[in-house]
Amino acid sequence: MVVFNHKASNGCTKSSSPSANISKTINLDQGDPTVFEPYWRKMGDKCTMVISASDSMSYFSDAGNLCWFLESKLGDSIRNLHREIGNAKSNGRHIVVGTGSTQLYQAALYALSSSPDRTHPISVVSAAPYYSQYQEETDYLRSGLYKWAGDAYTFDKEEDGNSNYIEVVNSPSNPDGSIREAVVKRTGGKLIHDLAYYWPQYTPITRLADHDIMLFTFSKCTGHAGSRIGWALVKDTEVAKKMIKFIELNSIGVSKESQLRAAMILGTLSDNSYRNFNSNKPADNFFEYSQCLLAERWKKLREVVKRNRLFILPDYPLEYCNFTGKFTQSHPAFAWLKCKEEDVDCEKLIKAHKVMVRGGMRFGAEKKYVRVSMLSSEGVFNLFLQRLSAIKGNFN
Amino acid sequence: MVVFNHKASNGCTKSSSPSANISKTINLDQGDPTVFEPYWRKMGDKCTMVISASDSMSYFSDAGNLCWFLESKLGDSIRNLHREIGNAKSNGRHIVVGTGSTQLYQAALYALSSSPDRTHPISVVSAAPYYSQYQEETDYLRSGLYKWAGDAYTFDKEEDGNSNYIEVVNSPSNPDGSIREAVVKRTGGKLIHDLAYYWPQYTPITRLADHDIMLFTFSKCTGHAGSRIGWALVKDTEVAKKMIKFIELNSIGVSKESQLRAAMILGTLSDNSYRNFNSNKPADNFFEYSQCLLAERWKKLREVVKRNRLFILPDYPLEYCNFTGKFTQSHPAFAWLKCKEEDVDCEKLIKAHKVMVRGGMRFGAEKKYVRVSMLSSEGVFNLFLQRLSAIKGNFN
């Protein structure tokens, strides 16, 4: 149980866990964003949703919209939020809602590859280290439309015999937090921009993104992973239509309850996301609160890493954030930790200290890397720091 | 707007539409179950869900359960309801929740076909007339694991070169309401039982179903199509694990909001589904109410069909329903209407009278058949009867 009860010295309101279970293995393998829960608990009834038994029973949300299963209130909240944050162009773009951005990733693959005259699957690539789930999400059904082709840096489309390809650009990147651009850059290439982490708490907002297909998710924006709500901003009408067709065939639309709740919560965020970063007020703005919290966590992690001298963390440049009006660094949702010593299985090493993390090989990288979630509850995060501190050198 | 305000002469509480738009084309192509909305409106606050901003934020519902994304309250409500209705054995079965039974159908295909040594796709068949979406849901990704092979009655697995197959048994059948059993019945066959309509309002409950994989959906049980909640009752642990894996890869679980709402509403149903069918009380039991409503609709439809002499409707046997303790006929969610005259395109004929229906060819049947939803609002249903009455013979 996380208790929301005190303020940190720097003005961040934060949470703590009264009693941490010191013997149990902690799970930082997934990116379950429970770090944000205390903020939403503090909101009390402000974002409470009430839904009666006869509400939203139909398959249809808005029969007149291309995306007939999108709740119009959610569409409005999404556009308002992007306008307020300045992270992506949503005006003049189709919004396609999905059961998380996972479903939308697959909808985008389908939209970019399905064609009656396709004779062999199109190659799907992403620059390594890439999100560990892309490969399995692409290949689990052995589709004849698309297939995973690995690291974009080493992709040779001529050798592959394909006339085109799909490149997934994940920026900021999961796992390493870096800002990415397309790598392959050849004629016939199609791009999916996975911008799940392009929000001010994780990275400075340096420009208004405006790509063909941009994926976002409620999970990483506010921490509401359980709602399974994602959205795509799509330029081309035919691509949007095919993505909608995919979601119709895959699940006949998307939960209305989750959409309505997301509409309310995202709506509150843009009402509430006034730029008070320079004021001395306590952090009641969600993005300010969460940026502050992640900055503190990163500071603590860097201290531990510096002390025990066994690992390396990426450095991020100081950049001007258009949203906060300040120069800030990235504070990614994951730490991409590298063992200094060669030939070390970093996942195994850290697991031996009762911390579950995800090994580098899953991301198309070496085993000396691991990805560690920075989004756990406060108690679990503190246990992680303790256990990381306890790891000693000469472990080969 | 449907208004819930009066009682029918036979004791069914029912709804009416005050003013029907007489010029607009009505849509009875989909099976949008808005017929049940007035019942749930009458429930007032009894099934109102309240969810605060900090509830259910995690990906996980129950990390200790095989189906880690299933809300345990929903699991309980599902088991209680099946126990109360007596339609399917749920004790000792795994419950896998899905984004509607559509996602679970695909999860079941994956579970029954994915194997490292699979060299060619397994054939998927269903007895014609079969649910119109099976084909497209099976084939849209051109999976190397499974492929649609059409009507189970004409399937020749020897010729197909496959050592096994999957048969989907949809009972009661969408579109024709008949009770179905497996047709192919050969060694190596695997079965998926789609029991979406095996509820007392549609058909007498004649036995406790106990098959390997049984699919159900909240949409057709209570009319909450917008929630996108389905569930599978699964015997085999390895099959359940693979279905769970599919849903993890497809959408990382299922909306918590929808699951919690379904848990509450299904929970109320089993509290409320006491067998008062023989009493003189007004119909406050959901299944009694909805059975009564559908019986009335079928009676009216049969009268119109009898009068205009152009169509034939299926007959259903009188059977003893274990739940109601009465002999009743089926009153399916769809009318499977057949034109008496040969070579008539029945869909085209009815469309010309401003009623959108789904043509027989979509179900692997002839064009003289159409499927008409019986689950529309009262106003739309009455318009349908008027328009059907107006169709005259000699239309070739």
Instruction: Give the pLDDT band of residue A272 (cuts 50, 70, 90).
Output: low
pLDDT higher than 60, residue A52:
yes
Pairing of strands B49-51, A49-51: antiparallel
Sign of the alpha-carbon torsion through A180, A184, A186, A192: negative
Return d(Cα A338, Cα A85) in angstroms, integer: 33
Pull the structure tokens for residue A46.
Answer: 């402000």
pLDDT higher than 60, residue B5:
no
Nearest to B251 among A33, A49, A100 (CB): A100
Q: Do B52 and A53 count as a contact with CB atoms less than 8 A apart?
A: no
Q: What is the pLDDT of residues A63-93, one digit of tens each?
A: 999 999 999 999 999 999 999 999 999 999 9
Chain A residue with minimal CA distance to B50?
A: A50
Q: Do B228 and A253 count as a contact with CB atoms less than 8 A apart?
A: yes
B282 or B221, which is more confident: B221
Q: Do B57 and A225 count as a contact with CB atoms less than 8 A apart?
A: yes
Residue of B61, B257, B258, B265 to mutate for A, most A C-beta atoms under 10 A: B257
CA of A145, closest CA in chain B: separation in Å? 6
Q: Are B21 and B354 in contact (CB under 8 A)?
A: no
Nearest to A251 among B56, B102, B246 (CB): B102
Exposed, middle or buried by CB within 10 Å (0-12, 13-18, 19+), for B383?
A: buried
CA of A285, closest CA in chain B: separation in Å? 15
Q: What is the pLDDT of residues B306-345, one digit of tens each?
A: 999 999 999 999 999 999 999 999 999 999 999 999 899 9
SS3 at position A320 = strand
Return d(Cα B276, Cα B234) in angstroms, integer: 31
Q: Do B58 and A252 count as a contact with CB atoms less than 8 A apart?
A: no
Which residue blocks in A215-358 are alpha helix, DSSP H?
Answer: 218-222, 237-251, 256-272, 286-308, 346-351
Instruction: Give the pLDDT band of residue A160 (cuts 50, 70, 90).
Output: low
Q: Are A198 and A182 in contact (CB under 8 A)?
A: no
A-proximal residues of B, 321-350, CB under 8 Å? none
Print burial letters for B147-166: b (CB count within 10 Å at least 16), e (below 16): bbbbbbeebebeeeebeebb
- For chains A and B, count residue pairs whose Cβ atoms are closer than 8 Å: 204
Q: What is the pLDDT of residues B188-238, one digit of tens each?
A: 899 999 999 999 999 999 999 999 999 999 999 999 999 999 999 999 999
- For the beta sheet containing A369-373, the strands, ordered from the edge strand earlier in sequence to the opposite edge, are A311-312, A334-339, A369-373, A358-359
Computed over every residue of chain B, the mean pLDDT equals 91
SS3 at position B294 = helix
B41 inside 8 A of chain A by CB: yes
B142 inside 8 A of chain A by CB: yes
Nearest to A258 among B143, B144, B258 (CB): B258
SS3 at position B379 = helix
B-proximal residues of A, 205-224, CB under 8 Å? 219, 223-224
Q: What is the pLDDT of residue A219?
A: 98
Computed over every residue of chain A, the mean pLDDT equals 91
pLDDT higher than 90, residue A380:
yes
A51 inside 8 A of chain B by CB: yes
Q: What is the pLDDT of residues B355-379, one digit of tens each?
A: 999 999 999 999 999 999 999 999 9
B3 inside 8 A of chain A by CB: no
Q: State the first-to-last Cα distance of chain B, in angstroms, to the nearest integer.
A: 38
B119 inside 8 A of chain A by CB: no
Name the DSSP letter for residue A332: -
> Stretch A365-392: mean pLDDT, rounded?
96
pLDDT higher than 60, residue B132:
yes
Residue of A35, A43, A59, A218 to mutate for B, most B C-beta atoms under 10 A: A59
- A238 φ, ψ (degrees, to nearest 5): -65, -40
> Stretch A113-118: mean pLDDT, rounded?
92
Chain B residue with minimal CA distance to A42?
A: B54
The residue written with tokens 């890397």 in the block is A369
Exposed, middle or buried by CB within 10 Å (0-12, 13-18, 19+), for A45?
A: exposed
Q: Compute CA A181 distance to the chain's CA centroid, rounded to the nearest angstrom.
A: 17
Q: Do B46 and A37 count as a contact with CB atoms less than 8 A apart?
A: no
- For the beta sheet containing B165-170, the strands, ordered from the edge strand earlier in sequence to the opposite edge, are B94-99, B229-234, B213-217, B189-194, B165-170, B122-126, B146-151
Helix A256-272 crosses helix A286-308 at what angle (to 10 degrees)? 90
Chain A residue with minimal CA distance to B144?
A: A142
Print burial letters for B254-289: b (CB count within 10 Å at least 16), e (below 16): bbbbbbbbbbbbbbbbbebbeeebeeeeebebbbbb
Identity of the residue numbered A371: R
Q: Are A7 and A13 in contact (CB under 8 A)?
A: yes
Q: What is the pLDDT of residue A4?
A: 27
Residues 6+ apart with CB under 8 A from B365: B128, B129
The residue written with tokens 């256990």 in the block is A387
Exposed, middle or buried by CB within 10 Å (0-12, 13-18, 19+), for B33?
A: buried
Nearest to A226 among B225, B246, B256 (CB): B256
pLDDT higher than 80, residue A12:
no
B228 inside 8 A of chain A by CB: yes
What are the beta bridge partners of residue B326? B321
Q: Do A251 and B251 count as a contact with CB atoms less than 8 A apart?
A: yes
SS3 at position B28 = coil
Q: Do B110 and A141 count as a contact with CB atoms less than 8 A apart?
A: yes
Instruction: Give the pLDDT band of residue B1 (cuts 50, 70, 90).
Output: very low
Return d(Cα A141, Cα B144) in angstroms, integer: 7
Return d(Cα B307, Cα B301) in angstroms, integer: 10
HEC string of B131-197 equals CCHHHHHHHCCCECCEEEEEEHHHCCHHHHCCCCEEEEEECCCCCCCCCCCCCCCCCCEEEEEECCC
Identity of the residue numbered B111: A
Q: What is the pLDDT of residues A182-232, one digit of tens each?
A: 999 998 899 999 999 999 999 999 999 999 999 999 999 999 999 999 999
pLDDT higher than 80, residue A250:
yes
Q: What is the pLDDT of residue A44?
A: 83
CA of B81, closest CA in chain A: separation in Å? 18
Residues from chain A that touch B34, judged by Cβ atoms under 8 A, are 57-58
A295 or B283, which is more confident: A295
Residue (of A249, A210, A203) closest to A93 by Cα position = A210
Residues from chain A that touch B356, judged by Cβ atoms under 8 A, are none
Pairing of strands B326-328, B334-339: unpaired
A279 inside 8 A of chain B by CB: no
CA of A167, closest CA in chain B: separation in Å? 19
> Residue B7 region, left (φ>0) first, then alpha (ψ -120 to 50), else beta?
beta
The residue written with tokens 């911390």 in the block is A355
A-proximal residues of B, 143-162, CB under 8 Å? 143-145
A24 inside 8 A of chain B by CB: no
Q: What is the pLDDT of residue B16?
A: 44
Q: What is the pLDDT of residues B168-187, one digit of tens each?
A: 999 999 999 999 999 999 98
B32 inside 8 A of chain A by CB: yes
pLDDT higher than 60, residue A257:
yes
Q: What is the pLDDT of residues A334-363, one digit of tens each?
A: 999 999 998 999 999 999 999 999 999 999
pLDDT higher than 50, residue A17:
no
Q: Do B48 and A51 count as a contact with CB atoms less than 8 A apart?
A: yes
Residue (of B372, B371, B393) closest to B381 by Cα position = B372
Q: Do A102 and B250 count as a contact with CB atoms less than 8 A apart?
A: yes
CA of B42, closest CA in chain A: separation in Å? 8
Identity of the residue numbered A322: N
The DSSP string of B82-112 is HHHHTSB--TTSEEEEEEHHHHHHHHHHHHH
Nearest to A226 among B56, B100, B110 (CB): B56
CA of A357, closest CA in chain B: separation in Å? 17
Which residue blocks in A58-161 are alpha helix, DSSP H?
Answer: 72-85, 100-113, 133-139, 157-160
Nearest to B261 among A43, A51, A114 (CB): A51
Nearest to B227 among A144, A219, A255 (CB): A255
Q: Are B273 and B84 in contact (CB under 8 A)?
A: yes
Return d(Cα B153, Cα B166) in angstroms, integer: 13
Q: Do A58 and B34 count as a contact with CB atoms less than 8 A apart?
A: yes
Which residue blocks in chain B are alpha helix, DSSP H?
Answer: 37-42, 72-85, 100-113, 133-139, 157-160, 218-222, 237-251, 256-272, 286-308, 346-351, 378-389
B249 inside 8 A of chain A by CB: yes
Q: Are B148 and B134 in contact (CB under 8 A)?
A: yes
Return d(Cα B223, Cα B85) in angstroms, integer: 17
Return d(Cα B138, Cα A330) in angstroms, integer: 43
Pairing of strands B165-170, B122-126: parallel
Q: What is this structure's pTM?
A: 0.94
| C-alpha neighbours within 13 Å on the C-beta side of residue B213 | 30
A272 inside 8 A of chain B by CB: no
CA of B49, closest CA in chain A: separation in Å? 5
B127 or A46, which is more confident: B127
Q: What is the pLDDT of residues B64-94, one digit of tens each?
A: 999 999 999 999 999 999 999 999 999 999 9
B279 inside 8 A of chain A by CB: no
> Stretch A133-156: mean pLDDT, rounded?
97
Percent above pLDDT 70 for chain B: 89
The length of chain A is: 396
| C-alpha neighbours within 13 Å on the C-beta side of residue B345 | 5
A358 inside 8 A of chain B by CB: no
